[in-house]
A and B are shown apart, each in its own frame.
Chain A
Amino acid sequence: MGALKSVFRLLGAPFRPIGSLMGRFLNTPFRQATAVFSLAYVLIEHGIPRIPPLFGLPSAPVPNTVVLEYLVIALVGILLWVSDNEERWSEFKQPIHDVLVRPDRRIWRGALFVIVPALVATQTYLSARPDVSAPPSFRAIHPAPPSAITFQGEQMVLDGLENPLRSTGLLEEHYEEGKRVYYQNCLACHGDGLQGRGHYAQIFNPEPINFQDGGTIAMLTESFVFWRIAKGGPGLPNEGNPWNSAMPVWENFLTADEIWSVIIFLYEQTGRDPRTWELEEEEH
């Protein structure tokens, strides 16, 4: 910092990077408001998606409706600030008023008269033109599990149910068994990397679950995972779109022990921990 300062001094310029920026460009409330608003847009659109990766979490673009909502909030805040005192408010309005009124701003005025209606017309055209996109689809990713299911003809209470194989003392064997079951049955879709990228994965919509993602099995109790495996896509409630899920009904193929083993494999292989029932109760 000191070195930079002396360079500025040598050049005969005062070292006030932010001050001079403010003094030269951001010297009216209107410009300041515009700058803050633009900065808010850039932060929301491009800044927010970069936060989760910092913590090793997956990220996605911010949906347009959310961007819009945040921008409205930012705008309200800015308007509150500029209208906070009378002087700043009239100063803020001045450039707008100038463009509307002053003869020497004729060109600006004309440009706005062309640009704004053109934008509105384009937007109207885009929304009026026939829509060939797929109808909107609502899908609950983690639908509420039933408290009990019928597994291969027998009643099974899911509430409070723990993985029975964890207390046998033979975890390594169950892991190996789960690995066999996984590779013979699950691999084609969920993949060897457990990221939901098997060689068939891209063909299905919705795509297979990514177990490495902290938002999947790590958020769920083992009994929830058991339910999803045992009953598959067709066992989903309506809000889970049972008609489109390619997840098979595994109770038709696997025994309960095989399913519990593959669950152990999923958690061990990804290094994730299942959600516990204590935590589940605390939150309800």
Chain B
Amino acid sequence: MLVLPNLRSCGWFKGLLSSRHITFSSLLLAASLPFVPADLSAQVDGEVVYNQWCAGCHGEDGAGAGPAANTMLPRPRDFTLALYQVRTTSSGELPTDADMLKVINEGMPGTAMPGWEEVLTEAERLALVDYLKTFSRFFQGDPPTPLDFGRATSGGEDAIARGEEVYQSVECWRCHGQQGRGDGESAPTLNDDAGFPISAADLTENWRFNGGGEVEEIYRVLRTGLDGTPMATFSDIVDAGVITNEDLWSLAHYVRSLSPEEEPSVEEVVTAKLLTDTPLPQTVEDAVWEETERFYVPLSGQIIVEPRWFNPRVDAVWVQAVHDGRELALLVSWGDPSESPDTLWTDFGGQVVTTMGSEDEGAATGSGTADQLVVQFPQQLSEGQERPYFLQGDARRPAYTWTWQSDITGAFESIARGMGTAARQPDSEQHVRATAQHADGQWKVLFVRPLDTGGAEDLALAAGQAVPMAFQAWDGDNGESGSQGAVSTWYFLVLGQPTPVAVYVAPPVALALTLLFGLLVVRQAQVGSGMWREPDAAARAKRTARRKQLAGMGVGVIWLGMAFGSYQNSRAGWEAGYADLGFWWAIIGGLLAIAGLGALIGTWVHTRTLK
């Protein structure tokens, strides 16, 4: 392997500790060293580690302006300012070494900063802490002392109710909004200390909280603030006796309660429940939605075709679906603080566009367009696994889309052959209806369409089928339009169907057959050991012959069954475009069919005389 000069300086020991040898090095260390050195960091050059792994975003000079800085908001930390968000110390103080190590280890959720535990050794991470401190002379003084947080209160309904009162009284809603979705009246005016636009956290997504999403971490942020951002410390009003420390813990419990118990998992299949006795919901507020499972679909910036977008507002949509055998109702909900275009947000969006300034051709230069949501399907379902390209299809396989916009009523259907090529279908071919509602920083859009529109060009939905489905979302007030928005890859929509009769019939039949077989086996064994009436020689011979006949037929049937399975595998292989798989399964199936037929015919020929 070629070793570059700037990577060579650290010698063999560094090589031993480098990431790709984690397992080996720990084994070797354990085997070869009688003790673990007390100060691991002394053996690693923090500058080398920093330049190799951190400088790409934070810059070699630590000023937070590395090559990647323009592709992320919030920006990478500027270490020369010694302003750190995650601290156990008072606002305005330096972080402790443990605070800095925590961020290096765990990363900053909701930002581009990952955790480094699996890439860097502990020695390398400790060396980084030391090296980061050399970027600012503030660290030359005495080490800071962490605050005493007291003990976490137990939470529960009372604490959450008290927390909600505190949320109102200390006016968290001014930025975070009444429902916590970051849609407060001050939200459009927020800038960080470096002058970049910053969003008030959406408190319903605790897995994206900058300082961590658990109660203790929320409390820490409330106590210490997030220095460098508009998130203030609440230590002073506790010290002044306006609220108690326990109130602050209650507030942390309340904020935690706004998010789900656990970070939602991503399911590949969205199921549309079949409604049998309830009518299909026609509004976003219908009670049916409260009982319908929600599916979490995370979105990323569209960074695949020009012009790209690295700062999507919509990080996920929630999808719910039901059908009544005639129509499908699809409810999509997502957090968006404004009903774009909203003049209160024009300035914010303009700043975002300036900050995220893209060199891509055709990049947006301003904000203030409408919010938009596109639900995407293939125009035609293919027999195999082929689908249109997930960014609104391609020339060979077009996508069929439903587009909803905040500045029009309803939604419309289009056929697209690539991002931005959607062509609206003629009015006679429009079948999708949509109603939308924006409340407390959340859009809810309900799409309703007949399962089968009758049109030959339209995608027909049928129960039991897995229909590919993808989502794209734009926040106009965040400077998003055209190809600059948020996208997902393909998911599947499956329409629930009435339970097939086989589900009720097959298990009892299987049970009865197994029981019968068991009884036969036991009887045979007991007859064999003379526990039943001893049959005469002729009868025994006849029974043996019959048993052989049954065995022969059984083998034949089993082989034929396997042949049928092979045939199905073969067909699936051909359909998926795997000619070799299809071919070999066909050969296997053929051989099995011959063997099975042979067994049946052979048994029949040999036992004809029985009758």
Contact = CB atoms under 8 A, between A and B. Distances in A.
Nearest to A124: B510
A107 to B, nearest CB: 14
B489 to A, nearest CB: 5
5 contacts: A124-B509, A129-B499, A184-B71, A212-B19, A248-B305
A273 B20 CA distance: 13
Interface in A72-88: none
Contact of B303 (A175, A248, A268): A248
B518 A117 contact: yes
A269 interface: yes
Contacts of B522: 100-101, 109
Interface residues of A, number: 75
Contacts of B22: 56
Q: Which 7 A/B pairs are nearest by Cβ-Cβ distance?
A: A183-B56, A183-B68, A200-B300, A100-B525, A193-B119, A56-B23, A121-B511
A172 B514 contact: no
B555 interface: no
B34 to A, nearest CB: 23
B492 interface: yes
Contacts of B266: 202
A271 B16 CA distance: 12
Given A125-B503, A134-B269, A183-B66, A203 B515 contact: no
Interface in B144-169: none
A244 B390 contact: yes
A187 B71 contact: yes
B4 A175 contact: yes
Contact of A242 (B4, B6, B389, B503): B389
A16 interface: no
A145 interface: no
Contact of A128 (B20, B70, B492, B502): B502
A268 B2 contact: yes
A132 B6 contact: no
Contacts of A238: 386, 577
A130 interface: yes
B559 interface: no
B511 A117 contact: yes
Contacts of B271: 132
Interface residues of B, number: 82
A184 to B, nearest CB: 5
B521 interface: yes
A95 to B, nearest CB: 12
A180 B59 CA distance: 11
B507 A172 contact: no
A199 B1 CA distance: 30
B389 A243 contact: yes
Interface in B316-364: none
Given A117-B515, A187-B71, A246-B304, A203 B114 contact: no
Interface of B: 1-2, 4-7, 18-24, 52-54, 56-57, 66-68, 70-71, 111-112, 114, 116, 118-119, 266, 268-269, 271, 298-301, 303-306, 310, 385-390, 394, 397, 464, 466, 488-490, 492, 494, 496-497, 499-500, 502-503, 506-512, 514-515, 518, 521-522, 525-526, 529, 531, 576-578
A272 B489 CA distance: 30
Contacts of A204: 300, 489
A179 interface: yes
A199 B112 contact: yes
Interface string A257-284: 0000000000011111100000000000
B526 A100 contact: yes
A134 B489 CA distance: 14
B114 A56 contact: no
A1 B133 CA distance: 54
A269 to B, nearest CB: 7
A18 interface: no
Given A193-B118, A205-B489, A100 B506 contact: no
A172 B2 CA distance: 10
A120 interface: yes
A182 interface: yes
A21 B4 CA distance: 60
A238 to B, nearest CB: 5
Contact of A243 (B6, B490, B502): B490
A268 B578 CA distance: 37
Interface string A160-182: 00000010000110010001101
Contacts of A202: 266, 298
B511 A243 contact: no
